[in-house]
Amino acid sequence: MLLPYDVKALLDLTQELDRWKAQLDYRGPIPRAWAGRLRRDLEAEAVAASTSMEGIPVTVEEVHRILAGDRPPETREEDAALVRGYREAMSFVLRRADDAAFKWDRELLIGLHDRILAGNWAGGAGRLRTGAAYLVDDRTGGLTFRPPAPEEVPELVDAACAGMQAGLEHPAIAAAWIHVAVAAVHPFKDGNGRVARVVASLAMYRGGFKLPEFTSLEEWWGRHRSQYYTAFRCLGETFDRAADVTPFILAHMEAQLHQVRALDLRERIQQRIWAAVEEAVTAVGLQPRVANAVWDAFFGRSVTPRYYRPLADVSPATATNDLAAAVAAGLLRPEGKARSRTYGAGDMLYSRIGAALGVRVDETGDPARSIIIGELSKRVAIP
């Protein structure tokens, strides 16, 4: 078998993931507006983490704006294109995942790669590499791994896809295995890490683990990069198709469990904050859609009219009026002038959100947000 592993060492983790799946699948319906915000936020965090791991200098706030059609002036267009490309690749796998005719094959990976690199021909988009590849440590400049020769790549890609098509013991095992297989074969000139992380999400989704708690592992890896790169050491220094990848699969599944626990707590906290934001917005006579702008401001993100428009699905004039009304109510504060104007948290924002949640808040900005989240963390952690 290509890149074998010990399935017995993985069974406890698969059973725990199954228990989490059953628990989250039956937690009840999520309000539609909140579900939309949750999806957008997790998507932006996953895209920002995965692209940043490949040296693309974008923040979560910048990704939020790029995906809403508002490229920040400090972000290069080529970087914005890669952000959009990664999102398109993730959207593509979700569209394809439930297709009855779905098949793991070489063309699937090539199509994903073309989207991830935003069709950049010079970067090798949509083509298997034809040259040698070397992975080096950015800190020391030393060689850390030598992938297979280019003439071996097509057969190895086909073998990896054949293994996935035949089926592995559990979706989480499949996700981890295809992740490490793509990384080891290194089939492309650039973008291999992003392809590996996208197909890992695809494997989970195909296996019925469709909630973002299970399919958005990029953000976790982005915050634990040293653990991520350490997990690949089981491959050795030179590609060996017989290398035992059990350590990587264990690390990958443990990361998934850490992620699902963290996201479950976070979502229960943030759902309460979203309800409080909606309450604060309507209490001062604003349209419920304004909650989209106030939500971002609560978390310290700048809001622009161009970013807000697609979130609220309104015209430019309505967007301007909505934001001005939120400023008048003290929920937002304008920063800058004219076309460069952005909106942040207003003087009354945190006190109103705190009041809606029954949390006394006298501070503003980061301290106030920390007080609110800290109090909610205590509440939701109580059985």
Q: Which two tokens stand for residue 132?
A: 């040698």
pLDDT value for 67: 84
Asked whether the beta carbons of 29 and 202 are under 8 A apart, the reply is no
What is the rounded distance in angstroms from the CA atom of residue 67 to the CA atom of residue 72? 11
Q: Which two tokens stand for residue 105?
A: 């094959």
Asked whether the beta carbons of 24 and 213 are under 8 A apart, the reply is yes
What is the rounded distance in angstroms from the CA atom of residue 110 to the CA atom of residue 14? 30
pLDDT beneath 50: ranges in the chain: none
E strand or H helix at 60: helix 60-67
pLDDT value for 292: 93
Among 38, 42, 22, CA closest to 209: 22
pLDDT value for 141: 64
- Segment 247-262, tens digit of pLDDT: 999 999 999 999 888 8
- For the entire predicted model, the pTM comes to 0.86
Q: Which domains does the chain have, with CATH numbers?
A: 7-264 (1.10.3290.10), 265-381 (1.10.10.10)
DSSP 152-177: GHHHHHHHHHHHHHH--SSHHHHHHH
Among 343, 356, 314, 310, CA closest to 36: 310
What is the rounded distance in angstroms from the CA atom of residue 210 to the CA atom of residue 305? 32
Asked whether the beta carbons of 143 and 136 are under 8 A apart, the reply is yes
Name the packing angle between helices 11-25 and 171-185 (round to 10°): 120
What is the rounded distance in angstroms from the CA atom of residue 217 to the CA atom of residue 44? 12
Pairing of strands 342-345, 332-335: antiparallel
Please report, as a single letter, which amino acid is at residue 317: A
